[in-house]
Amino acid sequence: MRRRNPAFVSTITGLAFCLTGGCSTDAPPPEREIMVGTTSNQRPLATIDGVRMNFAEIEASLLELGGAAVVRERALDLAVAREATRRGVGVDEAAIARERRLLVENLAEDPDRAERILQELRNGRGLGPVRFSGLLRRNAILRSLIADDVVLDENIVRGAWDARHGASRVVRIISTTDLRTAEKARARIESGEDFSVVAVETSIDASGPRGGRLAPLSRLDPSWPRAFREAIFDCTPGSLSDTMPVDGRILLVEVLEERPADGVPFEAGREEAERVTRLAAERLLMDRLARRLVPVDSIQPLDPALRWSLGQEPSGNQVLR
């Protein structure tokens, strides 16, 4: 079962990835402080046993390795800059620092752990000082461009509060594409096989490899489809559900436990719920704007290595995300 965009997996998860390195929440260095030299094909990049290596020798390999990501980021940078100029929108260093702060705050509650995760993400995505600085600036501009379009829906705000403070259920699921497979899985479980074993072997959901177990979910949590939430809360804790169609899949659900609400009333948690809802809405609008500014077919590669690289990556713009 695919969870919808939670509240702001922030820009980690698609807007062209927002991270920065180090163990500090200080703002990244301004673009003007990052020195990017002009690269000619004959400029030496390194020496190997005293022999110079120039850019031309590895240009095609570099384009195959990361050309698609870099070209897409550059295309989005140019498009965002044009749109900001057209609309008279600008961002300062405080806005860029806020992008990093938002990311860190949403990675983990503990600041040190959040910084470690951030560094791991940067390392995994190859986001050095230049690309990461560009990412933060790009997202800051996008956020400014869509600021006036954000509308907070009261039901979604209440759902965000419920997700944090309301009663929740811990479940395991098996997701299949057809009723026959789901019925066979149910029969195996009823005959005594462990649900988690059957989930690993048959479920097509991302939770399958971990036995179908999902993070606790509440009745109103807007990050899950309504039909799925209703099905979960219609089940009796400790029971195995009948097969049920949800969002084009056939599901089996085992409710492991119900956890009580924490007692925080809605009005007491409203401010945080509104913040979470706003961030989620901003993320969605930023994604949409980025995709509109740089359509999938707008990049026409002329270099064979770049053409190959673009053909290997999923199409679309990442606002990082």
121-152 pLDDT tens trace: 999 999 999 999 999 999 999 999 999 999 99
Residue 76 pLDDT? 95
Tell me the two tokens of residue 179: 């009723």
Residue 4 pLDDT? 53
The per-residue DSSP string of 218-232 comes to ESS-TTS-HHHHHHH
Mean pLDDT along residues 62-66 = 91
Which amino acid appears at position 183 of this protein?
E
Residue 312 pLDDT? 83
Going from N- to C-terminal start, the domains of the chain cover 31-152+274-312, 167-259
Angle (nearest 5°) at CA 206 between 213 and 119: 100
For the segment(s) 167-259, the CATH number from 3.10.50.40, 3.30.1370.10, 3.40.50.920, 1.10.10.10 is 3.10.50.40
205-248 pLDDT tens trace: 999 999 999 999 999 988 788 888 888 898 888 889 999 998 88
Mean pLDDT along residues 185-198 = 95
Residue 51 pLDDT? 92
% of the chain surpassing 90 pLDDT: 67
Closest CA to 137 of 300, 20, 52: 20
Residue 313 pLDDT? 66
